[in-house]
Every structure is written in C-alpha cells, then in structure tokens.
C-alpha cells in the first residue's frame, strides 16, 4: 500500500507546478463554461415539463419525467466529457512524472488536446462511460460527507418512502457502478497510450486486475476517507475563523445566525476547490497501480504519443503570479455562482431556495417601530427585506405609521387621526421616546426618506394603510422618482388597491395580505394583480396547503408575524418563501438551519450562543 502511495506522490510531485496551473485553469473553464451550460439545460427541463415552479413535493415526479431524464442524461454526458479531457491530460502528465520527464503546461495542453481527440474518436462511448464511473465513485465519498451535514427536506423524504422500489433500484445501480468502476479502472490509461480494441483492452484490464480488485478498492476507500477527514478539518478551521470575524464585526447577538448562513457557501467553495486536489490524487493512485501492474506483468512502455518536453519559456515568478491570478478568478467565479444559487435570485426549484428574512416594522425589538432607526437597525442585520407601514397625512405626504391615530407611537397627547393633520404637525412629534430614552427625538419619517435610506440594500415591503387613488398615485410616484421599482414590494389587504397599483405601474410587485379567509383561495393566487401573498401565521398553520398551491403558480407566500424560533422553523420546514419577523436574527437562524444537520446546529449553539461567549 505504501509503495503505491509513494509512486502516486512521486508522479504528482515531479511536475507539480504544471499540475497546479492546469488544474486551476481547468476548474475555471468548468465554472465559466460547463456550469452555466448545465444550469441552462436543467432549467430548460423545467420549462419543457410545463411546471412554473418545482416544489419539494413535486421534485421526484419532475425527475422521473421522460424529458427530464433525457436532459439529465445529456448533462451527465457533458460533465463526463469534461472529466475525460481532464483525465486524459492527467494521464499524460503522470506518464511524464513516472518516467521522470519534465513537461510544461503548454506542452501538456498540446499533448492533451491531440490525444483527447484521438481517444474520443476511437472509443467515444466507452471512454465517456469510464470517466462517468470515476466521477461517480469519487464524488460519492464527498456527497455522502455533504449529506451528513445536511437535512433532506421533509417532503422529499415522504415522497421517497412511497417509492421503495425506486430506492432499491438506486442502490443496486450504485453497487453496479462501483463494480464497473473497478473493472474499467485502467481504461483511460489504456485508451490513451495503447492502440487496442475494446475487446483487447478489456482482456488486458482483467489480466492486470487479477487478484488485485479487493486490495485496490480497499486502498481507494481508505485514501478517500482520509482525504475527506482532512477536508472537513480544514472546513472546521475556516468556520472557526469566520466565527471570530463575525463576532468582531457583528457582535454576539448576530453570531449564530450569520454563521449558519455562511455554512453552505463555505462548504461549496471548499469542496469546489478540493476538486483541484481530489481528482489528481485519485487518478495518480490509479496511474501508479497501472504502472506497477505493467512492471509486474512485464508489459513494455508503448508511447503511441508522448511529445517532447519543451524548454521552459516562463520564469517561476511569472508562473506563480499567473497561478495566483487564476486562483483568485476561480474563487471569485465560484463565490458569485454560489451566491446566485442561494441569494436573492429566485430559482424555479424550491430545493435551491431559502426563505427571505423580512424585518417587521424595521428591527422593532431594538428600535421604535416604523422609524429610520428601526430601518437602519434592520439593514445592519443584513436582512433581505424591511417591512413598514405607510399612511398619508391630510396634505398628501406618505409617512411611516401603523395606527390610524398618533398616540401609541408618538408624543401626541391628543391622539389625533393621522389623516386629519398636516405633515408640518407630524414633523414636531417624537416617535422614539415611548420606546426608550435612547431614541428621544426620533422623528416620524416620510416614505421618501425611508426608501432613500434603504437605497436597494434590502427589499422594501410597503404595507399600505391608507386607501384612495390619490394615496396610491403618491406611492407609485415616489417609487418611480427614486428608480426603485425593482427594490420594493407593495402590500395591502385590499385587492382593489393592488389592482390600482398594478394599473399605474405593472412592474411594481404586489403582495396581498390575508388575515382571515372565507371563499375560494384560487381567486387570490390566480389574480393578475397579486404577485405574491402574505398570510397571518395562525391562518396559515391551519391551511398549510396554501404554501404548495401558491408555489405551483410561481408566486411567493410569506407569513406574518413570526415571533419565536419554533414558529419560524415550522414554516421554514414547509417551504415558506419569507418570514416577516420581529426578531430577524432568530428568523435567520431558522432559515439557515432548515437543511443543516440538527447535531451540527446543537454543536454550534453550545459554542456560539450568546451565553457561551465571553463578555
């Protein structure tokens, strides 16, 4: 075993600089070309299926559709060809390393592209399938590790239980793929360096594998387990460093929620970069077996195509700078792709989405509701959205206010009706001292001031508390003047009011608020004036099917007002689109805990909950 690992190590080390440059460049190629193509095909499958939105309940049905299976097969072929190119190039690199010959990256690319064309032309299906088997087995280790850190959505588990024969079939196919991987383990090397027919290549592989299958696969498993353990240790170190940074920059209150929100992003980045290491190490190990068995069996080296190594053209410093630049680009592209998948950009697949965290009346637990202070506090928490209430004064100025009267949230001793006073009077009021002396003198803000403060840093959820065409026009005019049509959602309990808003500007997104319900739910979610709905928590708990039905129409469903972690996790686990919450930190914890293993969450709580952090 040690001899095999030493040979693999020597093969990697001998042309290490060339290997690093090639792997970085090839990973970048995959991120900018292959990944977008795969996403395009997958989303194309959704459009062909006729679905607007794939909920977790619908996922298995979608995946089993014939047109989806065809597209998934096409994706597998594309990814396998990408791996074929990598494996053939690595085979050439390790051939040079094994015979202690230097090769620069340009010579490697030249040799690789020529040989890939020959291999694909002569062996197309066979070599692509061999690459697929290699990728399947190698990634199975890492996906199983990833699965241990996540929780499969409840709906998928329930659907899977109804398809027991499908589960059995999947495991049988997996075992078959592992067996075929062992039987074709030397195929890439043989197809790359030896001009043999499929039958002769198969017979030669069987001779080379005789008495070695169990030993080889056992070592393969051990090496990959060790590599995964090392990767997870590195992952934990990164998480610990992130926790320290978050604690310093955000404080202990936001630590756990923000840390949970980084777990998935960090894992994807670490695992993507790990492919730079994992695939070469695994293939170097296969190459070492290949050469060892050739030596034992007395096979001669057959250089059907091995180019002469070119003279080094570039200085080591230039190579290092280029490698660092490529690595930076790889990191940037990977981070951008990851945030595209999990960020504000809404995917048509529920599995890839997370619920938005919307601060109710701003961060109303730490600052007076519906004030610039509460809005700023919410923005400081990095919420996805800020919800606030808007009424109109007698002289036509939209201001932030929930109640019809001024007494509860200002120092207006006469408790006047908002719509019966001018804004000049509103400006004299104190909207903060009722909450805390720290906010003494906090003014009642206008809608314009509030939107200018938010300035696209979060989505503004404008809850309309006044009625009438004059009020609606004032709201639309301000949104348009500030060029924030794409940064707001207008909310109302009144369907006619939302219809009026849509008539004024159809691009403004609307949310119908539902506190009580009698009648046909379909009339709401199919109405063109309703882009999304928001339902009171108690009502939604008793009509949980609203979530699934709304998603089927391609619309979002929010719940209000979320006050506890238990409430938040209840709705998050049922695929809610957004939580309108009094405590955004608690809501964020629930959102990012949804697909995280409970054991990991408990461990993080022990380490990072405020009571465990030194003051």
Catalytic residues: 360, 402
- The Cα–Cα gap between 124 and 397 comes to 70
Containing H/E element for 214?
A: helix 213-250
- The Cα–Cα gap between 280 and 277 comes to 6
The position carrying tokens 């209000």 is: 560
- The Cα–Cα gap between 437 and 608 comes to 31
Strand partners, 557: 533
- The Cα–Cα gap between 598 and 529 comes to 40
User: For residue 30, what is the DSSP state?
Assistant: I
- Which phi and psi angles does 66 have, rounded to 5°? -55, -45
- At residue 483, the 3 state secondary structure works out as coil
Buried b (16+ CB within 10 A) or exposed e, 361-388: bbbbbbbbbbbbbbbbbbbebbbbbbbb
- Which phi and psi angles does 235 have, rounded to 5°? -60, -45
- The Cα–Cα gap between 520 and 569 comes to 28
Cα 534 from chain centre: 25
Inter-CA distances, 453 with 413, 457, 458, Å: 29, 9, 10
* Tokens matching residue 319: 């190579």
User: For residue 405, what is the DSSP state?
Assistant: B
Nearest to 18 by CA among 280, 273, 269, 193: 280
Please state whether the peptide bond connecting residue 561 to the residue before it is cis, i.e. omega within 30 degrees of 0.
yes
Provide the total of helices (H) and of strands (E) in the chain, helices listed first.
24, 9
Q: Give yes or no for a contact between 356 and 578, defined as CB atoms under 8 angstroms apart.
A: yes
- The Cα–Cα gap between 280 and 134 comes to 12
- The Cα–Cα gap between 358 and 581 comes to 6
- The Cα–Cα gap between 2 and 85 comes to 29
Inter-CA distances, 106 with 18, 312, 385, 581, Å: 9, 10, 50, 56
Q: Give yes or no for a contact between 507 and 533, defined as CB atoms under 8 angstroms apart.
A: no
- The Cα–Cα gap between 495 and 509 comes to 13
């Amino acid at each position: 075993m040690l001899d095999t690992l030493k040979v693999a190590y020597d093969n990697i080390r001998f042309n290490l600089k060339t290997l690093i440059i090639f792997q970085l460049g090839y990973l970048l190629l995959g991120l900018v070309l292959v990944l977008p193509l795969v996403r395009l095909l997958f989303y194309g499958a959704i459009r062909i299926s006729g679905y607007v939105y794939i909920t977790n309940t619908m996922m298995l049905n979608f995946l089993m559709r014939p047109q989806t299976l065809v597209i998934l097969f096409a994706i597998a072929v594309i990814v396998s060809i990408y791996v074929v190119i990598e494996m053939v190039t690595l085979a050439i690199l390790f051939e040079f390393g094994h015979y202690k010959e230097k090769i620069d990256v340009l010579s490697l690319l030249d040799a690789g592209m020529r040989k890939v064309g020959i291999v694909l032309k002569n062996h197309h299906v066979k070599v692509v399938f061999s690459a697929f088997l290699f990728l399947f087995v190698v990634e199975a280790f890492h996906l199983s590790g990833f699965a241990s850190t996540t929780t499969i959505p409840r709906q998928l588990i329930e659907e899977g239980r109804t398809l027991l024969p499908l589960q059995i079939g999947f495991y049988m196919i997996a075992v078959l793929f592992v067996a075929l991987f062992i039987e074709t383990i030397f195929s890439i090397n043989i197809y790359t360096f030896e001009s043999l027919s499929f039958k002769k290549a198969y017979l030669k592989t069987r001779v080379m594998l005789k008495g070695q299958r169990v030993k080889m696969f056992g070592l393969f498993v051990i090496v990959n387990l060790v590599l995964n353990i090392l990767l997870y240790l590195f992952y934990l170190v990164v998480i610990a460093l992130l926790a320290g940074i978050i604690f310093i920059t955000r404080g202990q209150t936001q630590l756990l929620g923000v840390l949970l929100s980084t777990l998935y992003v960090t894992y994807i980045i670490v695992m993507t970069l790990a492919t730079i290491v994992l695939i070469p190490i695994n293939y170097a190990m296969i190459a070492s077996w290949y050469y060892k068995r050739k030596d034992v069996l007395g096979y001669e080296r057959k250089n059907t195509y091995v180019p002469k190594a070119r003279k080094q053209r570039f200085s080591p410093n230039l190579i290092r700078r280029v490698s660092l630049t490529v690595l930076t680009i790889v990191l940037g592209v990977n981070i951008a792709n990851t945030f595209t998948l999990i960020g504000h950009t809404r995917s048509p697949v529920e599995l890839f989405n997370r619920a938005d965290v919307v601060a109710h009346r701003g961060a109303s637990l730490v600052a007076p509701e519906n004030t610039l202070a509460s809005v700023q506090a919410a923005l400081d928490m990095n919420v996805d959205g800020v919800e606030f209430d808007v009424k109109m004064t007698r002289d036509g100025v939209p201001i932030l206010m929930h109640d019809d009267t001024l007494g509860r949230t200002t120092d207006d001793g006469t408790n006047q009706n908002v719509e019966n006073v001018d804004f000049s009077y509103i400006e004299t009021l104190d909207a903060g001292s009722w909450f805390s002396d720290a906010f003494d003198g906090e003014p009642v803000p206008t809608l314009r001031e509030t939107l200018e403060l938010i300035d696209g840093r979060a989505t503004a959820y404008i809850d309309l508390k006044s009625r009438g065409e004059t009020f609606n026009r004032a709201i639309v005019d301000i949104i348009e003047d500030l060029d924030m049509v794409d940064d707001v959602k207008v909310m109302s309990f009144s369907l006619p009011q939302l219809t009026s808003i849509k008539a004024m500007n159809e691009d403004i997104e609307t949310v119908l608020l539902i506190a009580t319900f009698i009648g046909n739910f379909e009339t709401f979610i199919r109405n063109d004036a309703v882009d999304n709905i928001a339902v009171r928590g108690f009502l939604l708990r008793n009509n949980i099917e609203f979530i699934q039905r709304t998603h089927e129409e391609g619309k979002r469903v929010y719940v209000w007002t979320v006050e506890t972690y238990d409430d938040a996790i209840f709705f998050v686990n049922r695929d809610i689109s957004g939580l309108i919450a009094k405590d955004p930190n608690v809501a964020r914890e629930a959102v990012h805990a949804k697909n995280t293993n409970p054991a990991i969450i408990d461990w993080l709580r022990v380490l990072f909950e405020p009571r465990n952090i030194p003051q």
